[in-house]
Structure 1
Amino acid sequence: MDQSSIFDRRAVRAHRDRAAAGPVERVFPILSEAADRLLDRLDDVSRRFHRALDVGGRGVVAPRLRDRGIETISCDLSPAMAARAGGLAVAADEEWLPFAAGSVDLVVASLSLHWVNDLPGALIQLRRVLRPDGLLLASIPVLPTLSSLRAALMEAEMAVAGGASARVSPFPEVRDCAGLLQRAGFALPVADADTIMLAYRSPLALLRDLRDGGEANAVMLRNRRVPPAALFPEALGRLAGADEAPLEVVLHLAMMTGWAPSPDQPRPLKPGQGKVQLEDVLDAMPDPE
């Protein structure tokens, strides 16, 4: 393993393989809600898409694209998870995509890029597989998602073991995401903030959802020893609080859109190219009474 990496990609694949065996279906409502919100952006686009690449959709995104009449290829780091999408499916690493340049005109990556070590590099590859004026739609969890869980685990581990290790994936901030698209060479990059409100009967149900969705801890620097028996009861107690109210969790998302560059796309005018002078506009305005 590359010790300079943030995430253990073999662990990511193992978690996806385990989830693909059936548990992922339990979190389909969450995955479906995120996918629907992302794909709603297609309704605001006047052009029609013919061939799409579904990156890590976990069997939720591809059927929705096919329902729109779009031929869809699916890929996932886990062969078993890729197969859940049906149709043409490929086992592929998002960090080393095996697709030809300009092979699709739409890429959709719903909740699937946050375990990538080189996110700018992965975005560059996604831009490469797009035809000119092709569209990328991607969603990624951003801060402060799972901040309360991260804090509870850290405080509990400090209390029972005298130290703390990484147990929750790091996330970017939404303000960073448009810059990542621009850095990867996308035109007209946009990153909108969105939230999905979740409620759990207990903190343990939250941990089960993370595991069932293939979202267990895959941080490279995680503590690989068996945790102290008191760690998770202590952390879950801190997360639950004193009352018995449902645990409210907010999934914060960056909804990212970017276009593969094309000569036909509108471009901002260079300084001095405008046809109307500001002073002419001001002169034409009526005087205030």
Structure 2
Amino acid sequence: MSDTMQVFDRTLVRRRREKAAAGIGAVAPILDAAAERLLDRLDDTTRSFTRALEIGGRGSVAPALKARGIPFVVSADLAPGMARGAGGLPVAADEEWLPFAAGSFDLIVASLSLHWVNDLPGALVQIRRALAPDGLFLASLPALGTLQPLREALGAAESELRGGISPRISPFPELQDGASLLQRAGFALPVADRERLSLHYRTPLALLRDLRAAGEGNATLARDSRIPPRDLFPLALSRLPVTEEGLPVMLEMLVLTGWSPSPTQQQPARPGSANARLADALGTVEHKAGERGRPH
């Protein structure tokens, strides 16, 4: 992997996830809710699955897959401790170098776990290869807009105290990036959409505690390694929009759905192959492009 593709310190990501493994239950309600939103997509298909891989589910995905009747579930995580407690057959594995043979699974799920990957297109290619033909891939990633008030508050406070800013929150993808990423990786029938999970915290400090408990501390290579000014976090947190109900936090999730190509998959109809006119179905008059209809 070239140096230009290095955005995250993967060693630091692994250490933080390993440290968070023992106390991951503190954020289980949030992880469970995110996993439930993602796995609801399984209700849209009549396919049954027997061999599933979940990547980085932190104890929320594997039990839900088993509850849906999937008999064989592998839990892969960058941190061995997190993999052991995830609920499936544990495998310590790097998402950027998956150790699975081609066609090993008919379902792969990654709930809020791929946003620390340096080469996301490459990781998606490996995931697609690990799927059997007509296998399903489901993933959710924090999307642009997540933690935006915190990002802006930290930037403004650091600029005021130091005269400059450094990245303190991971960059997140945009919705329009999703389908193109799946297409580049060779997935069929790619779909990208958005889910929103609305949270409220009693205090801004509670939000920071949850981020730490989930192993979501800053791991960008461009982070400032110096000890932050003593007033940085108090100043930044004082500027967050706290209401009587607490601090509102919106978790914006980019949801990706794609299938491993198979000759038996349903294909979109060719342009011009329809045997009925849309105008007839709607009971209206069809006009040529650029032709304006006469007023009634």
> Structure 1-normalised TM-score?
0.93
Instruction: Give the whole-Å Cα distance in 2 for the aligned partners of 1:278 and 1:197.
Output: 43
Matched residue, 2:74:
73
Instruction: Give the whole-Å Cα distance in 2 for the aligned partners of 1:287 and 1:218.
Output: 59
CA RMSD of aligned residues (A): 2.2
User: Quick check: 1:190–1:256 contact (8 Å CA) kept in 2?
Assistant: yes
Write out per-residue CA displacement over residues 173-198 of structure 1, whole angstroms, 9 at most, x where no aligned residue. Answer: 11211111111111111111110000
Instruction: Give the whole-Å Cα distance in 1 for the aligned partners of 2:79 and 2:85.
Output: 10
Matched residue, 1:31:
31
Matched residue, 2:275:
276
Write out per-residue CA displacement over residues 45-84 of structure 1, whole angstroms, 9 at most, x where no aligned residue. Answer: 1010001001000011001111122110010000000001
Instruction: Give the whole-Å Cα distance in 2 for the aligned partners of 1:133 and 1:120.
Output: 20
Write out per-residue CA displacement over residues 250-270 of structure 1, whole angstroms, 9 at most, x where no aligned residue. Answer: 000112110000001122344
Distance 1:3 1:237, change over 3 A: farther
Matched residue, 2:54:
54
User: Quick check: 1:127–1:186 contact (8 Å CA) kept in 2?
Assistant: yes
Which SS does the other structure have where 1:117 is aligned?
A: coil
Matched residue, 1:8:
9
The code of the aligned residue for 1:193 comes to: R
Distance 1:27 1:277, change over 3 A: closer
Shift of 1:143: 1.0
Instruction: Give the whole-Å Cα distance in 2 for the aligned partners of 1:193 and 1:238.
Output: 28
Distance 1:232 1:2, change over 3 A: farther
Matched residue, 1:246:
246
Write out per-residue CA displacement over residues 96-127 of structure 1, whole angstroms, 9 at most, x where no aligned residue. Answer: 00000000000000000000011111111110
Instruction: Give the whole-Å Cα distance in 1 for the aligned partners of 2:15 and 2:2.
Output: 17
Matched residue, 1:222:
223
User: Quick check: 1:62–1:85 contact (8 Å CA) kept in 2?
Assistant: yes
The code of the aligned residue for 2:275 comes to: V
Ranges of 4+ aligned residues in structure 1 off by more than 2 Å? 1-4, 268-272, 275-279, 281-289
> Structure 2-normalised TM-score?
0.91
User: Quick check: 2:53–2:73 contact (8 Å CA) kept in 1?
Assistant: yes
Does residue 1:263 correspond to 2:257, yes or no? no
Instruction: Give the whole-Å Cα distance in 1 for the aligned partners of 2:250 and 2:89.
Output: 34
Instruction: Give the whole-Å Cα distance in 2 for the aligned partners of 1:87 and 1:282.
Output: 53
**Structural mapping, 1:151-162, within 5 Å:** 151-162=152-163
Matched residue, 1:97:
98
Any unmatched runs of 5+ in structure 1?
Answer: none
User: Quick check: 2:51–2:107 contact (8 Å CA) kept in 1?
Assistant: yes
Instruction: Give the whole-Å Cα distance in 2 for the aligned partners of 1:193 and 1:160.
Output: 36
Write out per-residue CA displacement over residues 256-289 of structure 1, whole angstroms, 9 at most, x where no aligned residue. Answer: 11000000112234445x163759x769968798
Matched residue, 2:143:
142
Does residue 1:235 correspond to 2:236, yes or no? yes
**Structural mapping, 1:92-241, within 5 Å:** 92-240=93-241
User: Quick check: 1:27–1:209 contact (8 Å CA) kept in 2?
Assistant: yes
Distance 1:107 1:283, change over 3 A: closer
Shift of 1:3: 5.0
User: Quick check: 2:191–2:256 contact (8 Å CA) kept in 1?
Assistant: yes
Identity rate of aligned residues, in percent? Answer: 59
Instruction: Give the whole-Å Cα distance in 2 for the aligned partners of 1:12 and 1:137.
Output: 22
Distance 1:270 1:29, change over 3 A: same
Instruction: Give the whole-Å Cα distance in 2 for the aligned partners of 1:255 and 1:37.
Output: 9
Which SS does the other structure have where 2:240 is aligned?
A: helix
Instruction: Give the whole-Å Cα distance in 2 for the aligned partners of 1:145 and 1:206.
Output: 13
Instruction: Give the whole-Å Cα distance in 2 for the aligned partners of 1:184 and 1:247.
Output: 38
Distance 1:276 1:17, change over 3 A: same
User: Quick check: 1:95–1:118 contact (8 Å CA) kept in 2?
Assistant: yes
Instruction: Give the whole-Å Cα distance in 2 for the aligned partners of 1:203 and 1:106.
Output: 37
